[in-house]
Amino acid sequence: MSRRALRVNELLRAELSLLLQRTIRDPRLNHMLSITSVSVSKDLKQAQVYVSAMGTEEEKAEVFQGLKSASPFLRRTLGSSLSLRYIPRLTFHRDDSLENAARLTELIDRLKPSNNDGVAS
């Protein structure tokens, strides 16, 4: 991937994170969510946005419906705040990596011997 594409990926990730925190008023997007990465196409006209959302499956489905409906607004807002020739079309994808990492950490912590049982660690 070119250096320009990498810079655009990081720029979009940072700007979208700020927009979702400060600008969007959709109640479906009030859940804890994080943009984990962005990947633009070679021509910079498409962007795959990977989002990690916490909550139940129903809440996650609501989050992605909210993101889909907010996509045109996000694109317009990015157009006014970024100096890019093309603002890429945004498609949102689910990323469960943070949730999986939290679950693995919890399992590892359960396997560790506790300090109260007299075993030195």
Angstrom distance (rounded) from CA 52 to CA 36: 7
Span 5-57, pLDDT tens digits: 999 999 999 999 999 988 888 888 887 888 999 999 999 999 999 999 888 89
Average pLDDT score over the chain: 88
Structure-model confidence comparison of residues 121 and 73, the more confident one: 73
Instruction: Report the predicted TM-score, pTM, of the whole model to 2 decimal places.
Output: 0.80
Of 121, 8, 1, 21, nearest to 70 (Cα)? 21
Domains of the chain (ranges; CATH) run 3-112 (3.30.300.20)
Q: Vertex 101, ends 97 and 103: CA angle to 5°? A: 120
